[in-house]
Structure 1
Amino acid sequence: MPIATRLVVFSDLDGTLLDHDGYRWDAAMPALGEMQARGIPLILASSKTGAEIAELRDQMGFAHCPAIVENGAGILAPHSSGATDNAAHTRIIAALDSLPAPLRAGFSGFTDWTVSQVAEDTGLPEAQAKLARARQFSEPGHWNGPPELLDDFLAALFEMGVSARRGGRYLTLSFGATKASQMANIMGGFDPNAATMALGDAPNDVEMIEAADIGVIVKNPHGPGIEPLDAEKTGRITRTDQDGPKGWNQTVLATIGELYDRKG
């Protein structure tokens, strides 16, 4: 039987629920506490690995909820530690390594870096950088090659079934599943009358935000931002006034008040 709830919240992490500098969610704790008290599911949806998200999900108190990992490339089951096979990631690296040398040399990803280099590039402590490097479904990195070769790089990978998506920090390679498609899969386990709320701050969150009943673009002056979306004209998608978890907290509490308190 589908799980009964009025609201299911899907949320990006970096720059959205986690602040840009410290990767902390303290400012969102009032809303998280309210969600826990009312039994509102929180589905984390991030470019982070299953191992990273499992730890954060547990700390936030939502280990019983599934999560969308590696930018939509996979799903982390409830109460899972994220320990699954990495066959998809192995295929992505094989595709990369089969490219002509000028194209392969232009991309540098987590697999190419040591744990210390991942820590330096992400700003994460080394223990967390080790989890970030444990890829299962995707490969994030930077295109450092000549700009005029980027289209050739993307086209060559596409011919092998590998897609690239631009997030707040990285160009992430995967086999094409998205946060939006995984959101639809996960909602099959919930009350079909439940409202979906999706919050994000970067271009890779747009499809998820547009697919939700309630979309929220979280202010992040450190990222590329999101261009105006059509549904903002109708109010189905809104923007926060405050950055990161502060804006997240404010809009989630307001939505809970609208759906729960005013309807009893």
Structure 2
Amino acid sequence: MSLIPLLVFTDLDGTLLDHHSYGYAPAQPALDALARMGAGVVLASSKTAAEIAPLRDQLGLTGWPAIVENGAGLLEPGAEASGGDEAWQTIRAALDALPDTLRAPFTGFGDMDDAGVAQATGLPLPDAALSRKRQFSEPGTWSGDDALRDRFLVALAAEEISARMGGRFLTLSHGATKADRMAEIIDTLQPARTVALGDAPNDVEMLQAADIGVIVANPEATPLPQLPNEEAGRIIRTQLPGPEGWNRAMLDLLSDDKTG
């Protein structure tokens, strides 16, 4: 019998965190309810370990692992951000080796200073500095057309670098996904049930891998297309955005006992 009744995997920006303020207060009632029942909450984000470690502490989730940089890395329970950035350096080198026509439209976090990342993300300057402490991946913006982006991605794929679109940024990595890390954590912790919540294309595999997936409304982006199992009710959508939608969905699921 599993000792963990429920394990929740959640994206951050636009999902548990408000898209603009980065606050999570509206989700606190559901977080408290999950804590009372002994459920775990695993943060799963494009954010760096340096960003997620203090946030995880603030949320009272230090005892649970966290998925960082879109699944490219894992922050163990209780661990602080540490380690090298060899994977990130490899990505940066591959970018800089591209022809100018392909390289110029991509502006990565490594191309910006702290103030530039703060402007691009809306983060306070100290938080923007933490978001630039990359180990495994490189998010950025794309200013070219779709055809040029396809050529950009093909060129990077030749170097075994893949790209995923999040809520706002195109993130380059060596290919691991949130769902890959999710599977590892489930294999280790053996929860009785799982729920995943997210709002962007890079959350889709995670949503589909959970017993119940929740697509959180994001007015800032194009809605995700209908996913397999959505008609059957295994994947649901919120009407409210961000932490308000997160809170309502989790409280409804707990009330309906769909997670039991």
> What interval of TM-score do these two structures reach, taking the shorter chain for normalisation?
over 0.9
**What is the TM-score of this pair, normalised by structure 2?**
0.96
Aligned residue in 2 for 1:35:
34
| d(CA) in 1 for partners of 2:193, 2:139 | 31
Q: Deviations over 1:33-83 (max 9, x none)?
A: 111222211000011001111111110000110011111111111111211
Of residues 212, 215, 224 in structure 1, which corresponds to 2:213?
215
Aligned residue in 2 for 1:195:
193
1:227-242 mapped onto 2 (5 Å cutoff): 227-242=225-240
| d(CA) in 1 for partners of 2:118, 2:66 | 23
1:245-264 mapped onto 2 (5 Å cutoff): 245-259=243-257
Aligned residue in 1 for 2:99:
100
Aligned identity (percent) is 53
Stretches of structure 1 lacking an aligned partner (at least 5 in a row): none
Aligned residue in 1 for 2:160:
161
Stretches of structure 2 lacking an aligned partner (at least 5 in a row): none
Which AA in structure 2 matches 1:20?
H
Which AA in structure 2 matches 1:242?
L
Aligned residue in 2 for 1:49:
48
Give the aligned CA root-mean-square deviation in angstroms. Answer: 1.6
| d(CA) in 2 for partners of 1:3, 1:75 | 23
1:37-186 mapped onto 2 (5 Å cutoff): 37-186=36-185
**What is the TM-score of this pair, normalised by structure 1?**
0.94
Closer/same/farther in 2, CA of residues 77 and 3 from structure 1, 3 Å limit: farther
| d(CA) in 1 for partners of 2:35, 2:156 | 42
| d(CA) in 2 for partners of 1:111, 1:224 | 27
Structure 1 residue 101 displacement after superposition: 1.9
Count of aligned pairs: 260
Structure 1 residue 250 displacement after superposition: 1.1
Structure 1 residue 146 displacement after superposition: 4.4
| d(CA) in 1 for partners of 2:147, 2:257 | 49
| d(CA) in 2 for partners of 1:241, 1:80 | 35
